Amino acid sequence: MVEKITAYRFDRLEQTLSQLNQEDCLIMAGGTDVMVLHKSRRGVPPKIIKPIVFIDHLSELKQVVQKNKDLHIGSCCTYSELLENPLIPEPLKRAIKTIAAPATRNRGTLGGNICNASPAGDTLPLLYVYNTKLLLRSVDGDRVVAISDFIQGPRRVQRMPNEILVEIILPSVLEEGSRVVFEKVGNRNADAIAKVSFAGLIQISNDRIEDIRFAFGAVGPTMVRSIDIEKKLIGKTIPLADADIAMIVSDFDKIIKPIDDQRSTAVYRRTVALNLLRYFLSLKRYQLN
Ligand SMILES: Cc1cc2nc3c(=O)[nH]c(=O)nc-3n(C[C@H](O)[C@H](O)[C@H](O)COP(=O)(O)OP(=O)(O)OC[C@H]3O[C@@H](n4cnc5c(N)ncnc54)[C@H](O)[C@@H]3O)c2cc1C
């Protein structure tokens, strides 16, 4: 017997929000995580129990706008669209190029990567070091939340059932002066889920560190970032002393919690994560002068 499902595809965001307020629906953007998550046996269509509401076509969710030095990215911009947009910072484009293959990039969205909240989500370490804020909207109004508060665990986010993630806000990202790096270690350069990923941001003035941030993916239930550890490096002269680097590496060694799974081992993940951090702190590749 053919199973029927209810699906909504409204022309406007407002109508979509109103439906979400009346009924508990499954939001579908590009569907590249949703379809995998609900897959059944081979040859059998995915089983989705809730009504589906499609949002990927909504023009309100597909804008990329510069406001002063901040960048506002519509949650339903696909990776392929972002790669073509001149406003998108190069490090984010570098991360996107490691995601899946072009067909999936044509469907997958930045908002979907955030709301799926995978510990191996490739855009997430960068979005953490950019201090990303998220604009969520419902019929009750808007709220803005830091990405580190929004993501609470694997596939667990702080979203009310009637809310849609509307914009991803990268504060001050269009300001000159910081160096940002992204590293993903997987079985190959793209089209492979990360074993470990790392993002770092550094701003140096007169040989002193003015700002430094780093975050790891795939070595804990969410991205691992510690502002307390970063603070220990503010004001330090570069190149950093070996003792400082060793102290930070040891601090991180205590807070990362890699696991063994089908993609890698905890030991490998820990070793690589700490090596990436050592490499970043030695500033060899990212030296400004
Ligand atoms: C073959 C393949 C390879 C992949 N490779 C990678 C990879 O290398 N790296 C990587 O990080 N990911 C990878 N992914 C995962 C996936 O493509 C990304 O996470 C993508 O960004 C998900 O976006 P989407 O629009 O398809 O999300 P969807 O599947 O539509 O949604 C994902 C989740 O987010 C919710 N959601 C989506 N948008 C919103 C919104 N605006 N507001 C509220 N909730 C929302 C949905 O309800 C769902 O729970 C891969 C997937 C496939 C199928």
Q: Please report, as a single letter, which amino acid is at residue 234.
A: I
Atom number, ligand 1, closest to the C-alpha of residue 29:
30
> What distance in Å separates the CA atoms of residue 68 and residue 174, rounded to the nearest whole number?
8
> 158: CA distance to ligand 1 center in Å?
17
Class of domain 178-281: alpha beta
Tokens of 178: 């910081």
Which residues are near ligand 1 (CB < 6 Å)? Answer: 26-34, 36, 55, 75, 99-100, 104, 107-109, 111-113, 115-116, 121-122, 159, 164-165, 193
**67: CA distance to ligand 1 center in Å?**
26
Please report the pLDDT score of residue 174 as a whole number. 87
- Token pair belonging to 135: 């604009």
CATH architecture of 7-170: 2-Layer Sandwich (3.30)
What's the token pair of residue 115?
Answer: 């709301």
Residue 1 is predicted with a pLDDT of: 60
Q: Give the model's pLDDT for residue 285.
A: 54
User: 242-255 and 266-281 are packed helices; what angle lies between their axes, rounded to 10 degrees?
Assistant: 150
Q: Is 156 helix (H, G, I), strand (E, B) or coil?
A: strand
Cis peptide before 51 (omega within 30 of 0): no
Report which DSSP code applies to 60. Answer: G
Q: Please give the pLDDT value at position 39.
A: 87
Give the residue range(s) of CATH 3.30.390.50 domains in the chain: 178-281
Please give the helix or strand (H or E) that residue 137 lies within, else none. Answer: strand 133-138
* Whole-angstrom distance, CA of residue 103 vs CA of residue 41: 23
Q: What is the pLDDT along the chain (289 residues), one digit of tens a residue?
A: 667 889 999 999 999 999 999 999 999 999 999 999 998 888 888 889 999 999 999 999 999 999 999 999 999 999 999 999 999 999 999 999 999 999 999 999 999 999 999 999 999 999 999 999 999 999 999 999 999 999 999 999 999 999 999 999 999 998 888 999 999 999 888 888 899 999 999 999 999 999 999 999 999 999 999 999 999 999 999 999 999 999 999 999 999 999 999 999 999 999 999 999 999 999 765 554 3
- Pinpoint the residues of the chain covered by CATH 3.30.465.10: 7-170
Burial class (CB in 10 A: 0-12, 13-18, 19+), 97: middle
Burial 188-203 (b: 16+ CB within 10 A, else e): eeeeebbbbbbbbbbb
